[in-house]
Amino acid sequence: MQALISSLLEELVSEAIIKIFYSYSRKDLDMRNTLEDHLSALRQANKISTWHDLELEAGTEWEPAILNKLDTADIILLLVSRNFIASKYCYGIELRRAIDRHTEGTARVIPIILRPCDWNHADVPFSKLNVLPTHAKAITSWSDQEEAFMIVAQKIRETVDQLRARKLAERQAKEQQAEQERIEREQQRQAEEQERLRQTEQLRQQLAAEEARRKQRELDRQRQEQLKQEAARKQQQATQLKQSPEATREKPVTAEAQAPTKVFVSYSWDSNNHKDRVVAVANTLRKSWGIEADIDEYVRAKPPYTPEQGWDLWMEKRIEWAEFVLIVCTETYKRRFRGDEEPGVGRGVTWEGTIIRQNLYNDQLRNTKFIPVVFSA
């Protein structure tokens, strides 16, 4: 845990470090070194990291490396002198790239006037920016150059503190947004789970009600059959009494133990998510309610992954075998059931629809077998 906390603290510190890029002429190297010394306190406090072209590693392509550092810097220091303005690379490429980033708001550009030169006019791209040191007086023009460098370092420190505070605020805002999105995803997942449970319970209640009606019909049929058998027995006894004084007895009729309810699920493969929901319903019927449910995915789940008699005969046999057929209704199912789908698409549902319609026709539309089911969106 301590190592994790240390790692997180290091990450926070690293993200808050302000990267500074020096754009300067090597003829002003001594003054750049002096400014680097004045910024040492910020660097040692892990508030800034600085980079200049002398830090290029041997064997690297210098221009892509310089531009990469320039494009990722938070602060770009322009060390202005006649040498800087005369440099085609500093004044032409680095300055143009720096001004573009300043305009975009992705970097802070700070011109620092090292030596007197003609920079304060409209032809110079950075002339509209606030320059250092105070009153735009070149450092070499100060009687005490160390004081000028100190003022520059103080202003850079103020800018660094502002950018660090903004970085930390942006990070906190991102973390809060990420947490809010996580909470919303969790709430959505819980809502979907509750809806799935509600649909499963609704389906269970529908099946239970249909099963109760089926059992009631079976009880009524058995009672009628018993009444018929009793009447036949009495008629037989009366006939035997007329023919012989000895009465005959009939063996008691025993009822067969009821087998589990057989259910076949007919559906269209609208999407993987829809297919998974249908399979989940079939699994719930089997595991939670003891119903002998069947669906094509059970065949696809194990070798040889297809019925030996072929899918068309398998569908016909399964519908004939089932006591109830759950029809999971969707727009795609309706289109394929009617045969309105594109050629070669959804042939399974089209074939099952033909079988279902034929069953309804044979029963003169007295439907006691086919149960439509609709999932909520």
Cis peptide before 125 (omega within 30 of 0): no
pLDDT at 254: 44
High-pLDDT (> 90) share of the chain, %? 63
Q: How confident is the model at residue 323 (pLDDT cuts 50, 70, 90)?
A: very high
Q: How confident is the model at residue 345 (pLDDT cuts 50, 70, 90)?
A: confident
List beta partners, residue 327: 266, 372
> Looking at the predicted structure, is the pLDDT value of residue 95 above 80?
yes
Q: HSE on the CB side for 114, CA within 13 Å?
A: 23
> Looking at the predicted structure, is the pLDDT value of residue 75 above 90?
yes
Q: How confident is the model at residue 253 (pLDDT cuts 50, 70, 90)?
A: very low
Interval 209-244: pLDDT, tens: 999 999 998 888 888 888 888 778 878 877 777 775
pLDDT at 245: 52
Q: Helix (H, G, I), strand (E, B), or coil: what is residue 53?
A: helix
Q: Measured in Å, how far apart are the chain's first and last C-alpha atoms?
A: 44
Q: How confident is the model at residue 118 (pLDDT cuts 50, 70, 90)?
A: very high
pLDDT at 346: 84
30-44, 51-65, 94-108, 248-262: range with lowest mean pLDDT: 248-262
pLDDT at 160: 96
DSSP 337-369: HTT-SPTTSSHHHHHHHHHHHHHHHHTTT--SS
Compute the average pLDDT of residues 254-258.
49
Which residues make Cβ contacts (< 8 Å) with residue 110, sequence separation at least 6? 75, 76, 77, 78, 129, 130, 131, 132, 155, 156, 159
Q: How confident is the model at residue 247 (pLDDT cuts 50, 70, 90)?
A: very low
pLDDT at 291: 93
> Looking at the predicted structure, is the pLDDT value of residue 90 above 80?
yes
Give the residue with greater pLDDT, 252 vs 49: 49
Compute the average pLDDT of residues 112-132.
94
List C-alpha distances in Å: 206 to 197, 212, 259: 14, 10, 20
111-120, 123-132, 255-264, 287-296: range with lowest mean pLDDT: 255-264
Interval 190-202: pLDDT, tens: 999 999 999 999 9
Interval 265-284: pLDDT, tens: 999 988 999 999 999 999 99
Which one is the CATH code of 2-181: 1.10.8.60, 3.40.50.720, 3.40.718.10, 3.40.50.10140?
3.40.50.10140
Helices 95-104 and 62-72 sit at what angle, rounded to 10 degrees? 30
Please, what is the average pLDDT of the chain?
Answer: 88
List beta partners, residue 326: 265, 371
> Looking at the predicted structure, is the pLDDT value of residue 163 above 90?
yes
Long-range Cβ pairs for the range 129-135 (8 Å, 24+): 129/102, 131/80, 132/156
pLDDT at 3: 55
Compute the average pLDDT of residues 161-166.
92
23-32, 61-70, 241-250, 351-360: range with lowest mean pLDDT: 241-250
Domain 262-373 classification at class level? alpha beta
Q: Helix (H, G, I), strand (E, B), or coil: what is residue 178?
A: helix
Q: How confident is the model at residue 15 (pLDDT cuts 50, 70, 90)?
A: low
3-state helix, strand, coil in the chain (%, to 5): 60, 10, 30
> Looking at the predicted structure, is the pLDDT value of residue 258 above 80?
no
pLDDT at 302: 86
Interval 33-72: pLDDT, tens: 999 999 999 999 999 999 999 988 888 899 999 999 999 9
pLDDT at 205: 93
